[in-house]
Chains A and B, each alone.
Chain A
Amino acid sequence: MATIGQRSERASQAHTLQRARHRASLVPDLLVDARRIANTVMAGWHGRRRRGIGETFWQYRPYQAGETLARIDWRRSARDDQTYVRDLEWEAAHTVWIWVDLSPSMLFQSRGARTSKEERALIVAIAMADLLSHAGERVGYPGLLRPRASRNGAERLATALMGDLGHPNDDWPPLTMVRRFSEMLIVSDFLRPVEECEAFLNDVAQHGPRPHLVEVADPAEEDFPYKGRTEFLDPETGERITSGRAQDWQSDYTELRAARRDALRQRAHALGGSFTVSRTDRLASETLVRLHGLMTGNPEEVAATDAPGDSP
């Protein structure tokens, strides 16, 4: 009988080149996929919605004494008796670090899932990079990419990841370049021990960025549909645990998992960040919409979707 979960494809060390090529062929697809998903979100993407330094017109407003004359829009002012100042929309570039966990535990796809966890994580990351770079933000990848503002941020990230994909990436990212007043998007399954995760978050907090955690979860991991005598195999450590009646473990397992998640969520909130669950049996765009809301600081949206225990 077929197993519920399967190891999804991922290069081992011995086949780095081969796997890298495969990834290389996969990445354009991912890119297109991410573009497509990002476009659906783009429609609701507005700038900073306040005046500031930027290129696009924001508003005309009456000239106030003391302002520099250079900002007066003469063409507009000539039409009536008032003197108008042309305001531009504020377009301050923000630095967003994106990091994707590519550890072996991400190479998992169960029968109910649409994609493997790794693919979902890459799609979310590249799609966010695409969205952010289109918005003019600076997108960086710790250890791979310096933060730069460019229209082709997604391609840059994809190219960088393509080079990196062949290597095991099971350690936390180096945070040496990360500075304050930035955002950090961490896409992982957070299956390492919760203490380790919290230590990393403390590390992040010390460097200053707001952490946005995206937990990629497979439905099999979420719902624990296993029954009967089952031997569980850890893809990272190779450890095995055999259960006589797996269904008996379900409630305890889900409880533990929820407890972990709550701890991470509270930690992220305490650091001013957010916590998002992306189930691989749901659409990636759902996650992107939520991330978009979080990053653009739409408080209603965030409040509605970030209730404890909620897992969009």
Chain B
Amino acid sequence: MIGAIGFTFPAVLAALALLPLIWWLLRLIPPRPQTELFPPLRILARLVKKEETPAKSPWWLTALRLGLTALVILALARPILNPQSELASGDGPLLILIDNDWSAAPDWDDRVRTAQALIAQAGDQGRPVALAPTVAGPAATVQLTDAGAAADMLGAIEPIAGRADRDATLARLLAATETADAPPVLAMIDTGLAEPDGEALNDRLAGAGLDGLLRFSATDRDLVAITAADNRTDGFALSLARTPAAAETASVALYDSRERLLGRGETTFEAGAAETIITFDIPFELRNDIATARIDGAPHAGAAFLLDENNRRRRVALLTGLAGDEAQPLLSPLFYISRALAPFADLIEPRTGDLSVDVPEMIDQGPAMIVMADIGVLPAAAADRIDEWLAAGGTLVRFAGPRLAASAQDDPYLPVTLRAGERALGGALSWSEPQAVAAFAAESPFAGLEAPRDVTVTRQILAQPDADLADRTWASLADGTPLVTGVRRGEGAIVLFHVTAEATWSNLPISGTFVDMLRRITDFARNTEPGQAPVTAAAESTAALPPLRILRADGTLAIPPAHVRPLDAEADARPGFENPAGLYGTPEGFVARNVLARDETLTAFAPAPPGLDVAEQSLVAEDEADLSGWLFLAAFVLLIADTLAVLWINGRLSFGTAPRRRAPASAAIALAAGLVVIFGAGTSRADDTRPGDDLILDALETTRIAYVLTGDRTVDETTRAGIDGLTRFLASRTAFEPGAPVGLDIEADELAFYPLIYFPMSAQGDMPSETAVARLDAYMQNGGTILFDTRDQLTGSFTDGATPETERLRDILGGLNVPPLEPVPPDHVLTKAFYILDNFPGRYAGSPLWVEASALDDGRADRPVRTGDGVTPIMITGNDLAAAWALDDAGRPLHAIATGDPLQRIYAFRSGVNIMMYMLTGNYKADQVHIPALLERLGQ
């Protein structure tokens, strides 16, 4: 809203009268010309006769400068947007009642501004002010003060996630002005939402003797709030209420205790409807994690709904009369129940097996449900606790069995009276067939579930037929006899399955319907206890719950402020100053207190005190805005434009033609740079990529075989072709498909990406520097393997060691930590990693392949492969493997085999495959050879 514009120093505007003078001066003083010596002036003199010389500034330049001057004058007068008009009239004390409840949060700043404006104007008029927030402690006092003190008070008020008590606040305000000599004026800055005390407020307003009633309220509040949450069978349901002006759609998100998003949904209010229900189809496993539900984009406490144990996963205690055999869990009566309940309930198992001990212990843990599988008689101590627990809202689920059948007549914890003994269906001496389960009745808690067609009951216990039996039957068999019966007992309920919990009497426990039925009962158990969670039910009556986390008015959770008191029995049912909405209790068990109660609606607040006019005004939405800064900015822009224009007039700025001089070009560059600095600053992005990242990613994406570039072109070419040939061989013969070979500059390239580095020795190549050798050493220490190939078997084997290549190898090895070496022993993994090999030929066949010597041979002759962890960090051969592997593009070998034996090339490739497999799998292959033995051992 753009309101009027006022000036702080209107006197400065008188300077605008100077504009004509400035105009005259500007017209008179043109920009100084550039004086140029020009001999052919006579020719120009002829021109001048035709043209007028503009001795004065062009009109637009004058206008520009006049505008600039006017802007500066206007800016100096400090124009102010939205100067505030008079809000309250009269001369009595000004009473300000300001709502700081949950719904005040979204436009709290406007409310504070309104109050500030009121206080400031009252201060100007010298009227005393009394300020009272509607969410305040019971001990809050209100006094008539001067404007300064009231403004300080206003600064201390903040919205609280509670409910407004306007009537009591008004009473406090009126009490403060009893001694005033003039009738007070009341200004209500309210939220526009009705509170239950509307009638009382009207009466009090009518009887207060006010001089005037001003109401500052936002019209058309668009609030959507959550009033209740229900953990239903078909999903997690939230009830939403809205004000009439609110949008028809609302988006709700569910968060866990760490504010992680669990689900999000949208709902639409029907036209004209003030309430709706949104259902989230969220797995049971996740429902327990829901800690908060929030309406998106609604920064107020009503849009946040806190959930507590009441909506949480329930604890279920399991009891059995039989000590289950661990060895045969499938026959344990609780096995199927625990399997069915575990996903959505916390299970409590009996500790001792002694019912008189276990039952009180379990009840102490506060279960929502106790499942008893075939327990006939309960000890007296246990029975007392069970009674108490049932009255408090527990749900007892019992399963039949031989013991129950034996003691059914005098068992108090049964929904129906049972006949003694059990009924067998479909036995050898019976004509009857095993019975199927009938469809669930509509009023049954199991309504909606599909009756299992594959479930048959062969044995059951029967209820005494009486008048209540039909009402208490939740599920029945096809012949009408009850299968599940239930009855309410106190706050709780008792449910009886007329079959056993294991699959002896029927196959119900192993059907999917069984899980659904138990789940329904668990939900039912939840709903038996509105209000408090069972874990805190006992504690609440006696002890106060300390505030854990408090909902702030903007809908976020925060550390409780000092004014929050523990929640105790005396606490007001509605959240207020002392007990605002939030979580009370301990992190282990807490109660959620929400702003709105179930089924509450958001209705408009319309105070209509008889005999008193209500002057409605809107909130002061816009703060005063000082425009002088913008005017100065505009003047500065005009100044720049003026500079550019003068440059253009003087011909220093050329448009469209190639700049001949450097000055305009540099000016343009400076201007562009300035613009980039001003507007381009926000567009820079944090970029953590570094040069070479793409290479690293490339090297990591596929496994590659690397080789060292020796600097000897022939050797490097052969090596590259050789590794390429091996790569192709590997891809065609094995599951390993390496990427293109990589030539490494060991002085600079990162070595860590490659499992094997092939290092051909070349006497012509460059000797690696000490740094490079150190890098090789680090590579070997960190698990890499280098395959040195001296390629000199023909001229002198590695052992003879006279060739230049061998000398070079010795030089390099001198800088490495070389482990003890040995030629590949016949039982080494290398000989069996993929192919069975006994030697590792290349182009030549004579040189052995040297590897790290294995640890001490334990001498067990029956082991097919030597043990030993790790992979040799170094291999040395003289057979010129790469030359044997080298293939041209058509797959033809590039180098002849020294012996001329074509099989030797095959074996060379197989050597390469074994070496690569050894590199990639390590001693895994060594373990593979034990598989027959392992299988034999496992076979027992």
Contacts and interface: CB of A to CB of B under 8 A. Distances in A.
B651 A236 contact: no
Contact of B37 (A189, A233, A252, A257): A233
Contact of B38 (A193, A233, A244, A245): A233
A246 B637 CA distance: 28
A229 B31 contact: yes
Contacts of A117: 39
Contacts of A260: 43
Contacts of B47: 249, 252-253, 256
Contact of A253 (B31, B43, B55, B654): B43
Contacts of A226: 36, 38, 651
Nearest to A8: B37
Interface in A185-228: 189, 191-193, 218, 220-221, 226-228
Given A227-B650, A229-B650, A191 B42 contact: yes
A241 B41 CA distance: 8
Given A1-B34, A252-B50, A235 B651 contact: no
Interface in B47-102: 47-48, 50-51, 53-55, 58
Contact of B34 (A193, A229, A256): A229
Contacts of B327: none
Contacts of B140: none
Given A232-B44, A256-B47, A191 B650 contact: no
A124 to B, nearest CB: 18
Contacts of A108: 37, 39
A230 interface: yes
A13 interface: no
Interface string A1-20: 10111110000000000000
Given A3-B34, A249-B47, A233 B41 contact: yes
A231 B36 contact: yes
Nearest to B37: A5
A229 B32 CA distance: 8
A243 B44 CA distance: 10
Most A CB contacts (10 A, CB to CB) among B33, B45, B50 go to: B33
A188 B36 CA distance: 21
Q: Is the interface of A mostly helix, strand, loop or mixed?
A: mixed
Contact of B43 (A227, A231, A256): A256
A234 B51 contact: no
Interface residues of A, number: 44
B46 A235 contact: no
Contacts of B37: 3, 5-7, 108, 232-233, 235
Given A228-B651, A242-B53, A234 B33 contact: no
A239 interface: yes
A5 B36 contact: yes
Nearest to A4: B36
Interface in A149-200: 189, 191-193
A127 B906 CA distance: 93
A243 to B, nearest CB: 6
A247 B58 CA distance: 16
Contact of B35 (A3, A193, A221, A247): A3
Contact of A221 (B31, B32, B39, B51): B39
B548 interface: no
Contacts of A106: 39
Contacts of B649: 228-229, 244-245
Given A228-B652, A242-B53, A246-B651, A236 B39 contact: yes
A76 B48 CA distance: 75
Given A7-B37, A228-B652, A257 B43 contact: yes
B819 interface: no
A233 B35 contact: yes
A115 interface: no
A237 interface: yes
A221 B39 CA distance: 8
A231 B652 CA distance: 15
B55 to A, nearest CB: 7
A105 interface: yes
A237 B139 CA distance: 100
Contacts of B54: 244-245
B40 interface: yes
Contacts of B33: 229-231, 242-243
Contacts of B648: 228
B448 interface: no
Nearest to B39: A105
Contacts of A230: 33-36, 651
A249 B40 contact: no
A252 B55 CA distance: 20
Interface residues of B, number: 32
A238 to B, nearest CB: 10
Contact of A237 (B31, B41, B50, B58): B41
A249 B44 CA distance: 8
Contacts of A6: 37
Contacts of B44: 232, 241, 243, 249, 253
Most A CB contacts (10 A, CB to CB) among B31, B42, B45, B50 go to: B42
Given A247-B651, A252-B47, A231 B35 contact: yes
Contacts of A105: 39-40
A169 to B, nearest CB: 15
B265 interface: no
B30 interface: yes
Interface in A78-112: 105-106, 108
A94 to B, nearest CB: 33
B69 to A, nearest CB: 22
Interface in B89-142: none
A229 B43 CA distance: 18
B479 to A, nearest CB: 113
A7 B50 CA distance: 28
Contacts of B40: 105, 189, 191, 221, 253, 257
A161 B753 CA distance: 88
B762 to A, nearest CB: 64
Contacts of B654: 227
Interface string A236-273: 11010111111111001100110010000000000000
A79 B503 CA distance: 155
B833 to A, nearest CB: 83
B45 A5 contact: no
A250 to B, nearest CB: 10
A234 B40 CA distance: 7
B498 to A, nearest CB: 109
Given A229-B34, A247-B651, A235 B39 contact: yes
A29 to B, nearest CB: 24
A243 B39 contact: no
Contacts of B652: 1, 227-228
B298 to A, nearest CB: 63
Contacts of A242: 33, 53, 55
Nearest to B34: A230
A3 B42 contact: no
Interface in B645-685: 648-652, 654, 663
A258 B41 CA distance: 15
Most B CB contacts (10 A, CB to CB) among A4, A227, A230, A246 go to: A227
Nearest to B56: A244
A3 B34 CA distance: 7
A191 B651 contact: no
A3 B36 contact: yes
Q: Nearest 4 A-B pairs (CB), nearest first? A: A227-B651, A228-B651, A244-B54, A228-B650
Given A191-B43, A221-B40, A229-B32, 18 more contacts: A105-B39, A106-B39, A226-B36, A228-B651, A229-B31, A229-B33, A231-B33, A231-B35, A232-B44, A233-B36, A233-B38, A233-B41, A234-B42, A245-B651, A247-B651, A253-B40, A256-B43, A256-B47
7 contacts: A189-B40, A218-B39, A228-B651, A229-B34, A231-B34, A237-B41, A245-B651
Interface of B: 30-48, 50-51, 53-55, 58, 648-652, 654, 663
